[in-house]
Amino acid sequence: MVERVLLAEPRGFCAGVEMAIKSLTWMVNIFEPPVYCYHEIVHNQAVVAAFERAGVIFVDDITEVPEGSPVMLSAHGSAPEIVAEASQRAAVMVDAVCPLVTKVHHEVKLMAKKDYDIIYVGHEGHDEAVGAVAEAPGAVTLIDPDQGLGSFQPKDPGRVALLAQTTLGMHEWEGVLDDAAVRYPELITARRSDLCYATTNRQTAIRQLAQEADTILVVGSKNSSNTQALVRVGRKEGTPSYRVDGPEDIKPEWLEGSRVVGVTAGASAPDQRVREVIAAINPTQGDSPLALTDEDEYFPLPPMLRQFVKILQTVVEAAFAVRKPNLPGPIEMDPEHSATGALDLLGV
């Protein structure tokens, strides 16, 4: 019987996911359904299901969006042609791309403009990798971290740059980086690692968790790259680690003989599901946090959405003569609200 659950901190939603979920919540509150979203807003089944119940239709082909409909682009980043097509088709188009992904897109364009061959380390078919490579397909070679550089041959060994999907495991990025640095001594990389701060923090936390827990459960969906990376890190540290979407996925044999179970969550997993997993484990001595660092990053809502909400606020205030100068409006108060609270309203 499990005596105690150690709960990793930080875990769960990162600033980019917070921004994306709150943005789509705004969309379903402003517009009559359906609201369209290109790709899953984040890679989590519970979050996607909640928005589907609220009237969101997720599409993988932007041409499926009827002209004149409101549309949001997912947090993972989209190809330039998708952004352009969405802008033309939609009455209102909001791009909820994570700012850290946008940074990588800018780096791809900059390196391509300077005629570098770009190694992009990522998983083939992942939404983020597809969008980044599309920024300069003629200059970018997608390298799977499990396969390494292989037969990659640049035009000029002196002009090679290396960039990465933000949700990779640290050990995956470092392996390819070290190999590339040996092959190409003049290798150019970003001034800071492309790996998301939240990805790095959660991987550091699970390493500590692995030292103190007999078994680790990682809450998150199968198509969540950062969730899968957490499982790999836990196993690499020598602790049995398993991914679960929720309590229904827990297999009793995983917990047999485990006195302490570690629980963490990928960056797109809602805390509601984490609490359900802890309840299912039912530790006799309850749960306690294993805190490594605090996260206070905040990403503002996308510019187009901020502008649209402020226009609506002005129209409503003018119609009802309720303008109150110098008082904060809903956009200014956004940092006080959480994606977890938004999902509570949607019934996750």
> Which pLDDT tens digit goes with each residue over 181-205?
999 999 998 765 677 888 889 999 9
Distance from C-alpha of 340 to C-alpha of 50, rounded to nearest angstrom: 12
Q: Quickly state the pLDDT bin for 341 (edges 50, 70, 90).
A: confident
What is the reported pLDDT for 169? 74
128, 135, 172, 276: the active-site residue: 128
Q: Rounded to whole angstroms, how far apart are CA atoms 104 and 122?
A: 12
Please determine whether the domains at 15-98+300-346 and 100-189 fall in the same fold group of CATH.
no
Residue 128 falls in the annotated catalytic set: yes
SS3 state of residue 217? strand
Between these two residues, 164 and 168, which has the higher pLDDT value? 164
237-278 pLDDT per residue, tens: 999 999 999 999 999 999 999 999 999 999 999 999 999 999
Distances (CA, A) of 94 to 9, 194, 271: 31, 24, 26
Of 151-160, 180-189, 306-315, give the lowest mean pLDDT range: 306-315
Rounding to the nearest 10 degrees, give the CA dihedral for residues 216, 217, 222, 228. -30
Count other C-beta atoms under 10 Å from residue 288's C-beta: 12
Collapsing DSSP to helix, strand or coil, 56 comes out as: strand
Q: What pLDDT, on the 0 to 100 scale, is given for residue 191?
A: 60
Name the residue type at position 321: A
Separation of alpha carbons 93 and 69, rounded Å: 9
Q: Assign domain 4-13+197-291 to a CATH class.
A: alpha beta
Distance separating alpha carbons of residues 42 and 61, to the nearest angstrom: 17
Q: What is the helix (H) or strand (E) element at residue 162, kind and residue range?
A: strand 160-164
Give the residue-averaged pLDDT of 100-119.
96
**pLDDT above 90 coverage of the chain, percent:** 77
Instruction: Extract the runs of DSSP E, i.e. beta strands, from 96-159.
Output: 117-121, 140-143
Average pLDDT score over residue span 329-338: 82
Residue 195 phi/psi, 5° resolution? -65, 135
Q: Is pLDDT above 90 for 345?
A: no
Examine the pLDDT at 342 and tell me if it is beyond 90. no
Going from N- to C-terminal start, the domains of the chain cover 4-13+197-291, 15-98+300-346, 100-189
Amino acid at 217: L
Cα torsion angle, 149, 151, 157, 162, sign: negative
Query: Over 90: is that where the pLDDT of 7 sits?
Result: yes
Number of CB atoms found within 10 A of residue 8's CB: 26
Would you state the structure tokens that stand for residue 256, as one six-digit string?
Answer: 């047999």
pLDDT-based confidence at residue 317 (cuts at 50, 70, 90)? low
Nearest alpha carbon to residue 82 among 105, 51, 114: 105
Residue 182: per-residue pLDDT: 95
CATH code of the region 100-189: 3.40.1010.20
Whether 173 shows a pLDDT value over 90: the answer reads no
The CATH class, in words, for 15-98+300-346 is alpha beta
Query: Could you tell me the pLDDT band of residue 171, with boundaries at 50, 70 and 90?
Result: confident
- How confident is the model at residue 331, as a pLDDT? 77
Lowest mean pLDDT among 5-19, 284-298, 321-335: 321-335
54-68, 225-239, 257-271, 300-314: least confident range: 300-314
**Res 295 pLDDT > 70:** yes
pTM for this predicted structure: 0.90
Phi-psi group of 148: left, alpha or beta (phi > 0 → left; psi -120 to 50 → alpha; rest → beta): left
